[in-house]
Amino acid sequence: MDDRRFLDLVGITSLLPGPNSTELVMHVGLHRAGRLGLLVAGTAFILPAAIMVGGLAALYVAAGTTAIGEGMLYGVKPVVIVIVLVAIVQLGRAALAGPLRATLGVAAAVLALAGVHELAVLAGGAAAMALARSATDWRSTWLTRAFAPLAGTGLLLGAAAQTVNLGVLFATFLKIGAVLYGSGYVLIALLRADFVDRLGWITDQQLLDAVAVGQVTPGPLFTTATFVGYLAAGPIGAVLATVAIFLPAFVFVALLGRLAARLRARPLAGALLDGVNAAAIGLMAAVSLPLATSAIVDPLTGVLALAAGGLLLLGARSVWLIGLGMLVGAGRVLVGA
C-alpha cells in the first residue's frame, strides 16, 4: 500500500473503540488479504504478547510471595504510576487543548471520583462536545443517541458481575474491549472500576503489577487483561480475558471499516472523538490517585517516583526504568537480609 492509504487506515482506526495499534494491524491484513488476512494479522500480533504475559503471570503467582519477588514489585510500582502520570500529562496537551476540552476533562475527573460509572462519563463527554459544536445542527441528534447506549451497556454488564465467575469475567472484558476509546491507559481506569472496585477480584497493587508487565512486554498494552484474567481465574481466565477484550476489535474492523472511512469526513465524528478523549484524560487522572497511594508508601518509593519522572522527561525508556525499579527493590531486600 502507499502512504496515503496507510494514513487513511490510521484515521479509520481512531474512529473505532478498542486497541488502536492492534486494529491498525488488522486493517493492514484486511487490505492485503481480506477477512482471512485480518484474522491472521490480528492473531499474529496479539498471540506472542499474550503468551509472554501469561507466562509472567504464572511466574508472578508462583514467586510473587517470595522476599525477592515482593521487593522487585515494591520497586516497580512507583515507577509504573509515574509512567502513567507522565502519559496523562503528554496526552492531555492535545486532548485538553482549549477551554471546552479542559472543562470536560476536569468534569470527567470530578464525576469519576464521585462514583459515576466510567462509561457514562465517556459517553457524556462525547455527547457534550458534539452538542457544543453543533447546537443547531440536527445531525448531532442521531450520533449522540447512537453513542449514549454504550453507557447503558456498560452499566448492565457491570451489574451482571455478581453471577458465575468465568461468565462474568468474559462479559466484563468483552464490554471493555467494545467501548474503550482513547489511549490504552484508559484501560487502567476501566480495569480498576470493574475488577478492583466492583468485583474485588484483584487489589490496586496487583493492578499496578499487571500494568508493569504490560509495559515491559512487546505488543499491545491490552494484554494487561491476560495478566488480570490469570490472577482472577488461572490459565482459563487468562485465555478468556484475552479472547474477550480483543474480540470486539476483530468484529469492528471486519464490519465497520468502510463505514468508519465515510464517518471520518463528518465534523461531528471528530467532535465525538474529541469529547471522548477529553473525558478519558479526566478518568485517567482520577484513577491515578488511589493507585499512587498504593505505590508510593515511604521515602524510598517517593524518591523512585521522582527519579523516574525526571528520567522520563529526559527521554529515558520506560522499560529500562521499570528494570531499575526492580533492581532497587531487590537490592533493598538483599541489604535488609
Task: Spell out the domain ranges in the chain.
Answer: 3-74+87-293
* End-to-end Cα distance, the chain: 59
pLDDT under 70: residue ranges of the chain: 4-5, 7-8, 10-11, 14-15, 63-65, 118, 134-164, 182-184, 257-267, 269-270, 273, 337
Write down the pLDDT at residue 326: 85
- What b/e string do you get for 221-244 counting C-beta neighbours within 10 Å, with b at 16 or more? bbbbbbbbbbbbbeeebbbbbbbb
Q: Are 222 and 245 in contact (CB under 8 A)?
A: yes
3-state secondary structure of 38: helix
Per-residue pLDDT, 153: 39
d(CA 113, CA 107): 10
* Residue-level pLDDT at 225: 92
Cα–Cα distance between 193 and 197 in angstroms, integer?
Answer: 5
- Looking at residue 313, its pLDDT comes to 86
